[in-house]
Amino acid sequence: MSILAELRARVATALVALAEGDQSAAEFAAMVLPSQEAKFGDYQANCAMPLGKRLGKPPREVAAAIVDKLRITDLCETPEIAGPGFINLKLKDAFVADKLKAASPDVDRLGVAAVASPRTFVLDYSSPNVAKPMHVGHIRSTVIGDALYQVLKFVGHRTISDNHIGDWGTQFGMIIYGWKHFGDEAAFAKAPVPELTRLYRLVNTLVEYHALRDEALPAAATRVAECESRVSQLELAPTPADPAEQKKHAKRISQAEGQLADARREYRELEAKLNQLDSDSKTRALADAHPTIGQAVLAETAALHAGDATNKALWQRFLPPCLAEIDETYQRLGVTFDHALGESFYEDALAGVVEDLKLKGLAKSSDGALCVFLAGQEAPFIVQKKDGAFLYATTDLATIEYRMRQWRPDAILYVVDHRQSFHFDSLFATARLWGYDNVEFQHISFGTVLGDDGKPFKTRSGSSVGLSGLLDEAVERALAIVSANDDARPEPMLSADERQIVAERVGIGAIKYADLAHNRTSDYKFSYDKMLAMTGNTAAYMQYSYARVSSIFGKGGVDPAQLRASSATITLDHPAERALGVAILQFSEALDRVVGDYRPNYLTDYLYDLAGKYSSFFENCPVLKAETEPLRNSRLLLCDLTARTLARGLNLLGIDVVERM
């Protein structure tokens, strides 16, 4: 149990005793939290205020009564009551020191106990659509999903990762159409994925071109005409005599003019988009030659799903190189999955899902489509289209059925960007109606990665290198930084090979850490400069902190394993030393927070704070030159615990450390 959990349990007991056995009083124990400032102790219990309200008693009086009932002398100094009724808890130095000493030999777990009641989690993350360039959003999903997977596993839960690869969607209709009309055998033989990407981009552009030119632009033109006629009608109307009416009339005109301006702007924007698509003026000619490409692509997808032999053979030919390409990215990121059952895996189950939903009266026909209507949801959840086609939604329902049968999870987590929140709300509601009401469904939503211009980040446009190029550039830049730092030393210490290894870890680590350190629900700007900075809350800084702590052992000629096994004890005399010790013990609390909210940034925050506490410890407390041998050993033990906590924490986030950089 973490210290926080232990304190909450003690406070809960006191609260219930105070409320004469009323168990509900225990809920206020959740208001025990780590203190924001050292002068308020290590933890603060703010439960006297709400409990006072409930009991109709002054909070300070309630606080005193809580303290009176609190049995905590083995952990804390005498609690202090401050302000309106805050209870400040300061851990006993001896307690902290003993706990650290006990954690020290526990090389892997650092004293973090496994949860008492493990749950089973299925995690659905990464899940790119193959044959379509993977984008940074998929990296974000991969990185956040992997971190959650590792943390859940580490704290003792049963975890199953399943990469729900999009290997069956409309993009195949595009590629198949592209192949049939523009395919280049020789290019495919030489480099399959770039050829498929080319076809995807080409067909996608043509479909988009038609949608713009034949639908969106005419619609915008109609809107402009409507607004124009409204403005001229209003202008031609006689001006009312009454001043108040006159004012209203003027307001109506200016409103209509505003709408007209908006409509014109929208028209111009669409027109600009269209011109951009046609920038090399080939698109128009091709689009003209393929006037019904939009429907044709859908027809190719439908034929594939209906088992058309040609399309199925093409799909079977295209899929393996696409999967191999994705695997390369995973290898580079150091991410593996327990399963990767793509959408196609569920193909045969879809009709059954729809049958069952119909049978249970959940799916109803509406305009020829089969829909599940959900309370409080504007749009229905469509499970089968008018033309008989199944959808993303149908596959996701089949996937839930399979996962529940196969793994009986307590929770299924979907790490997918925020744009799909409507889909997941509907999916979860439908699944519950369908009978899966005993499982926690969570959409672990995340924000958009933005470019410098504040628009969704794109890998250098037009290049098919995409993601691997992104990773390459991070590593390249890391190499420059690592080399410059090393060259600036009186005596550089890294060989060329070492620099390369460090750069790979720092570069990939930087990208991952930036994804993880931001609150996942917010958007953030992708910036190599920021993520590779050697100071601040970055991977490079954390990796450097780790290397700096570790280097002490080499310098002092100390074997940490021997030290851990020795009878050396820990003392916490200096405030910076004590603060570091307490922070080390709070590792498990950070992990609990990550699990509680499914937010890896609680762990990056924690590690950053720990590195800061180490810095001030290091500035204030000589280690190798400590006054006495026992003090030196005590401090070395703290260094060792710090290093391992940093390494373990980063490792749970999928980030490798280096001994020297």
Binding site for ligand ARG (CB under 6 A): 124, 127-129, 164, 166, 396, 399, 414, 416
Q: Can you list the positions of beta strands (E) in 71-112?
A: 80-82, 86-89
Give the C-alpha distances (Å, rounded to integers) separating 117 from 120, 174, 273.
10, 48, 55
Residue found under tokens 């446009």: 461
- Of 220 and 416, nearer to ligand ARG (C-beta) is 416
> In the complex, what is the shortest distance from the CB of residue 220 to ligand ARG, in angstroms, rounded to a whole number?
28
CB of residue 204 to ligand ARG, shortest distance in Å:
15
**In 155-282, which residue ranges form alpha helices assigned H by DSSP?**
170-182, 185-190, 192-210, 217-236, 243-277
> Which of residues 167 and 278 has its CB atom nearest to ligand ARG in the complex?
167
Q: Provide the strand spans (E) within 328-486.
A: 363-366, 369-372, 381-384, 411-417, 440-446, 449-450
If the CB atoms of residues 399 and 550 are measured against ligand ARG, the closer one turns out to be 399
- 10 Å Cβ neighbour count for 492? 12
**DSSP assigned state of 211:** I
Cβ contact 9:1 at 8 Å: yes
CB of 390 to ligand ARG, least distance (A): 14
Q: How far is the CB of 335 from ligand ARG (least distance, A)?
A: 16
Of the pair 166, 509, the CB lying nearest ligand ARG is at: 166
Q: Which is nearer to ligand ARG, 164 or 518 (CB)?
A: 164
What stretch of H or E contains 44? strand 43-45
The residues near 656 (Cβ < 8 Å, ≥ 6 apart) are 334, 505, 509, 650
C-alpha to C-alpha distances, 432 to 120, 161, 374, 441, nearest whole angstrom: 18, 22, 11, 9
Minimum separation from the CB atom of position 423 to ligand ARG (A): 7
In terms of CB distance, is 305 or 644 closer to ligand ARG?
305
How many angstroms separate the CA atoms of 547 and 445, rounded?
34
Which position has the token pair 């249970």?
360
Q: How far is the CB of 509 from ligand ARG (least distance, A)?
A: 25
Choice between 86 and 315, CB closer to ligand ARG: 315
User: What is the Cα–Cα distance from 257 to 247, expressed in whole angstroms?
Assistant: 15
Cβ nearer to ligand ARG, comparing 266 with 425? 425
Give CA angle at 494 (489, 495), nearest 5°: 135
- Report the amino acid identity of residue 117: S
Q: Supply the minimum distance, in Å, between the C-beta of residue 393 and ligand ARG.
A: 9
Residue 435 falls in which region: left (phi positive, over 0), alpha (psi -120 to 50) or beta: left
Closest distance of CB 412 from ligand ARG, Å: 9
Secondary structure (H, E, C), 516-535 = HHCCCCCCEECCHHHHCCCC
User: 262 and 133 in contact (C-beta within 8 Å)?
Assistant: no
Q: Give the residue with the Cβ less far from ligand ARG, 414 or 614.
A: 414
Please, are residues 181 and 290 in contact by the beta-carbon 8 Å criterion? yes
| 51/412 with CB nearer ligand ARG | 412
- Nearest approach, Cβ of residue 549 and ligand ARG (Å): 39
Name the residue nearer to ligand ARG (CB basis): 345 or 587: 345
Which letter, b or e, does each residue of 411-433 get, where b requires 16 or more Cβ atoms within 10 Å of its Cβ?
A: bbbbbbbbeeeebbbbbbbbbeb
The rounded distance, in Å, linking the Cα atoms of 614 and 599 is: 24
Q: Considering the complex, what minimum distance in angstroms separates the CB of residue 419 from ligand ARG?
A: 8
Could you tell me where the beta strands, DSSP code E, fall in 379-490?
Answer: 381-384, 411-417, 440-446, 449-450
Contact by Cβ (8 Å): 547, 660:
yes
**Distance in Å, CB of 127 to ligand ARG, minimum:** 4
- Our CB check for ligand ARG shows the closer of 394 and 399 to be 399
How near is the Cβ of 347 to ligand ARG at its closest, in Å? 15
Tell me which residue of 127, 124, 129 sits closest to 301, measured CA to CA.
129
Instruction: Pick between residue 166 and residue 294 the one whose CB is nearest to ligand ARG.
Output: 166
CB of 169 to ligand ARG, least distance (A): 8
